[in-house]
Amino acid sequence: MKPHLYMLLVATLALGSVAGAIHAANVDLESGTIFGSCVYVDAKYGSAQSDISPADFAQLDLEPGDLLAITFDGISLQVPYVYIPGDVPPGSLLAFQYGGGLFVGLQYGNFVVEYGIEAGMSVEVTLLEKGGYAAELAVQHLERPTDRASYESDEAYANFRMISCGTIAENRLYRSCHPASGDSRSPYAAALMTDAAIRTVVNVGESPDGLESAYSYNSLYRALGLGGKVLALDLGLVVEGQIFREGAKRAVEFIAMGEAPFLIHCWEGKDRTGVLAAILEALLGASLEEIVADYMTTYSNYYGITANHALYEDTAGLIVSKLEEMGQGETVTSENVNAVVERYVLEELGVSEDVLALLRAVLEP
């Protein structure tokens, strides 16, 4: 289980009995609104617990896959109702029932800090759209084979590939699952990393504390790390949040000052890696179609989702939505995606023009 999901579930388990003990929510069937209160906030892991119970939800026929409008003392949010925290992409809001109470959180983020949530706040829940998150929920429940024999190649199994869209030169930038984690994919990613002669690594999946363990699984990874050529940062995926902005800035600057070939990875090489890759691709002139195609290669590798698959558009929408968040809601197209991301990197991340020039110089032919 991924660290963030595990910690959120641990916090949930620890708090699970609180809502049932003090349940006092009211359901207004006429307006379709549940009125409750926030009974606990977990400042460390970032979830908020209310006294709104599964029985309250049943009165309004609310079920996982519905899109909810949830308000904390006037702070209005659109939140998918799901089974568990892992049912939403990193960086997304979520609501789920556990132990008699409704929890609201932010996957790979701190909900209570980002939104200023405090215990005692009023909580209101209404249905925004029945089944409004059903398709996305299906994407999150995809399962992939874990054995090498089920994949066409070592590259597909390790989700390892060269990024060459836009003006990025060949053999400059790669992406992968974790090449030093000790799982079944890791040795394949490690071998491919060695074959590609990787010189610099950006690990967006864990803090520096996790590197010592990683070094025990991959000798090249260890050598690069001890030589200062591995940047480890727990990036998160709230692109408007401080944690992501600071981490993404460090990653861009580290690559700009580094030596190619570069490898970027998290645990699966899917979410955090996918967003950082999209930023780099857009900065190097890639079209929206190229960015989406690279992102969707992961879903083809892991889940067999290709262009004709029923879930292709919903899945591709995950990366498009992140790009649009960078553009503060502006619709992203191939005509504006480069400008949208460059503005975000310069103005929101605070990367300098000089660093951006160095980044392009190190990645272009």
Assess whether 189 and 215 both reside in one domain.
yes
- Specify whether 96 is located in the same domain as 163: no
Kindly state whether residue 179 falls inside one of the protein's structural domains.
yes
Specify whether 182 is located in the same domain as 315.
yes
Q: Mapping DSSP to helix (H, G, I), strand (E, B) and coil, where does residue 70 land?
A: strand
- Given 86, 106, 140, the domain boundary residue is 140
Give me 71's structure tokens: 């308000």
If asked whether residues 40 and 188 sit together in one domain, one would say no
- Split into its structural domains, the chain has a count of 2
CA distance 365 to 309: 35
The per-residue pLDDT string of the chain (365 residues; one tens digit each, 9 = 90 and over) reads 444 444 444 444 444 444 444 556 899 999 999 999 999 998 778 999 999 999 999 999 999 999 999 999 999 999 999 999 889 877 789 999 998 999 999 987 899 998 999 999 999 999 999 998 988 898 888 889 999 999 999 999 999 999 999 999 999 999 999 999 999 999 999 999 999 999 999 999 988 988 999 999 999 999 999 999 999 998 877 788 888 899 999 999 999 999 999 999 999 999 899 999 999 999 999 999 999 999 999 999 999 999 999 899 989 998 999 999 999 989 999 999 999 999 999 999 999 999 999 999 999 98
Residues 277 and 350 in one domain: yes
Q: Where are the alpha helices (DSSP H) in 227-336?
A: 242-256, 272-283, 288-303, 312-326
- Look at residues 110, 140, 170 and tell me which one is the last residue of a structural domain: 140
Residue 184 in domain? yes
Residues 251 and 290 in one domain: yes
Residue 150 lies inside a defined structural domain of this protein: no
Q: Specify the CATH number for the domain of residue 12.
A: 2.40.30.90
Find tokens 């879903």 and name the residue: 299
* Distance separating alpha carbons of residues 129 and 160, to the nearest angstrom: 38
Whether 307 maps to a domain, the answer reads: yes
The pTM (predicted TM-score) of the whole model is: 0.78
Task: Name the token pair of 150.
Answer: 């089920």
Q: Which domain holds residue 219?
A: 157-363
* Last-in-domain residue among 108, 140, 172: 140
